[in-house]
Copies of this chain bind each other. A is one copy, B any other.
Amino acid sequence: MTHDFSAPGNSERFHPLFKARHVALIGASGNPKKWGYVMLRNLINGGFAGNIYPINPDADELLGKKAYKSLREVPETPDLAVIAVPPQAAPSAVRDCAEKGVRAVVVITAGFAELGDEGGRLQDEMVTAARAAGMVLVGPNCNGIMSPWEKLYVDFPSYHVPPGNLAVVCQSGGIVDGLARRSMIRGLGCSLCVASGNEADLHMEDYLAYLADDPRTNVILCYIEGFKDADRFYRIAREVTKKKPVVAYKAGKTPAGAKAALSHTASVAGSDAVFDGICRQTGILRAKNLHHLFNLGAAFIHQPLPRGKRIGIVTAGGGWGVMAADECVSLGLEMAVLPDETIRRLDAFLPAWWNRGNPVDLVAGSAPDDVLRVVETLLAGPDVAGLLFIGLMPALKFTPEELLHRGAPDDFWGQAIVRAAVELVRRLNGLARQYDKPVVVASEHLISSAEQEARTLHAIGQSGNVCYEMPYEAAEVMAALVTYGQWVSDCRA
């Protein structure tokens, strides 16, 4: 028996997990080389507001917190217990939780079904105990969960991804951490991160069902090695995608990968063609790698959905426009044909030599305000469903001499460049909202320092927007927006 969280109202069963008031850590440690130390340290450093109860039979205090010999001694009932004890001791820890009235457990410990029969038996024992008590169980063999809006960080990395609107659910802890980190360094943040591990109790689809109704989640990213119950996943995912986009990367798509997945999380990868079919029929967008996965997630946080697939391109350099047009058409999008009226309106303010076609190549010398007028003129026309804006730098006001300044964080020009880039992207996204059409931005940053580039991208993210680097990335994002816009429209029809 599994819980059916796809039924309305079942979200509440997840609150002890993702909105825990108090947390116990069974297997907490004072040894910095132990995960029981790292977990406790991260939980404390993350700023969790509730009580934290380290459980360790041999300690009185750990990291400044009073420690308890056993869960029984804890003076109140924590909603959530994190279990980081050896596998043989894990089933009894779960039974202790049940006895105490804990409602949710996260089992970090590895060494269960992924190692074979004996591990599988221990895993079954835990699940039976958890379900008998009505607890939900995450893992085992996982990195934990991060619930940034609640400052609840149960995970290995020492960084704390800030709150945001991107949810991440992965059958690999390392990949959750990688995506959360990327989201953080891009200034975006996460609504919820889950490493689902062996999925002994809660499956991928349970988290999806919860996130579908989570008001802070705009888009869900998944890393999938295999399904415990493909029919149930199919049924639930199809409902979730009506509410918000789900983007998935599937690993184990070749026999070699599938073999590796089996020893990683005891996942049976299944046929890649079947997964493709599931995606098409459930409206899940399939990502081809983790860069692609993240790029789509970042777009769905804030972009309006296009109605149609005719795309306008505004580019600050011929080669970039050629690549953008190529990539759009390769992905099944169409280049909008600019009607005479649009051409006439652009003629009114663009230099005489402008190329009078789509892509609109601004090359050098266009004033920043003219650039925005071009974007607005295209968006205002009936022929453009969405727009790619390729190349920020020429639209900024800086001279090449000013751009030379590499700039420490307190450098005047360095800061000015970051501010100008943020402001331009903000205005582009303002136009996107005003015309309810997506404007996807990609740009090389013609600045000589990678650190300044990193600061720029972070600041753009913090302003609620995204800047990709390459035209192919922008085109892939636009294609996904078009596909999902069509899915939502078909579902409503």
Contacts and interface: CB of A to CB of B under 8 A. Distances in A.
B263 A355 contact: yes
Interface stretch (A10-18, A177-185, A206-214, A233-241): A177-185
Given A225-B322, A326-B251, A448-B184, A33 B260 contact: no
A401 B31 CA distance: 12
A323 B264 CA distance: 12
Nearest to A449: B185
A491 B80 CA distance: 65
Given A404-B158, A448-B158, A260 B171 contact: no
Interface string A159-202: 10000000000111111011001001110000000000000000
B446 A450 contact: no
A174 B448 contact: no
Contacts of A42: 400
Copies in the complex: 2
A158 B401 CA distance: 6
A433 interface: no
Most chain B CB neighbours (cut-off 10 Å) among A42, A256, A261: A256
A290 interface: yes
A187 B281 CA distance: 46
B225 A291 contact: no
B326 A181 contact: no
- Interface size class, chain A: 35 or more
A68 interface: no
B263 A357 contact: yes
Contacts of A181: 444, 446, 448
B321 A260 contact: yes
A453 interface: yes
Interface SS of chain A: helix
A320 interface: yes
A430 interface: no
A57 interface: no
A318 interface: yes
Interface string A449-470: 1110111011000000000011
14 contacts: A32-B399, A41-B401, A45-B404, A157-B403, A159-B448, A170-B319, A172-B322, A173-B317, A174-B316, A185-B448, A185-B450, A185-B453, A260-B357, A264-B318
The 9 A-B pairs with the shortest beta carbon distances in the complex, nearest first, are: A172-B319, A264-B318, A257-B326, A450-B454, A159-B448, A174-B317, A158-B404, A254-B329, A185-B450
Interface of A: 32-33, 35, 38, 41-42, 45, 111, 115, 156-159, 170-175, 177-178, 181, 184-186, 223, 225, 251-257, 259-261, 263-265, 288-291, 316-323, 325-330, 335, 353, 355, 357, 359, 361, 364, 391, 399-401, 403-404, 444, 446-451, 453-455, 457-458, 469-470, 472
